Amino acid sequence: MTDVGQGSHRGSDRGADPDFVQRLAGHGLLTAEIHYWMPDHPSLLQQFVWQTLDVAPRFPALARFLDHWRREVEATIHEIRIAHAALLKPAEVRLVDGIIRLH
């Protein structure tokens, strides 16, 4: 009999959460604050905030997002502020007797 729903994942055929795997690979939370002007309201500076997992210092996900913005959005970017934190690094995880311990 399998103990389902009791928090036990031993013997489970489910893989690890993709976000968790990305964080182990060095991805951290990136917050980008984009200030821009729209052509129909050139005197109004607007703001868009976007979050994703990305890798510092090259930020490939942010680069793809900004490429998309430049191609598809009719807005002039004034300023981009970014904040990034490696929330969980591979060095912070140890396997002890088959159990993951976070430090």
| Portion of the chain with pLDDT greater than 70, in percent | 70
Long-range contacts of 2-6 (CB under 8 A, 24+ apart): none
Helix (H, G, I), strand (E, B), or coil: what is residue 71?
helix
The span from the CA of 46 to the CA of 43, in Å, is 10
In a domain, 58, yes or no: yes
**8 A C-beta contact, residue 15 and residue 66:** no
> Quick one: which H or E segment has residue 65?
helix 60-72
| Portion of the chain with pLDDT greater than 90, in percent | 46
CA-atom Rg of the chain in angstroms: 20
In a domain, 2, yes or no: no
Q: What is the pLDDT of residues 11-59, one digit of tens each?
A: 455 788 888 888 777 788 899 999 999 999 999 999 999 999 999 888 9
In a domain, 46, yes or no: yes
The number of folded domains in the chain is 1
In a domain, 3, yes or no: no
In a domain, 61, yes or no: yes
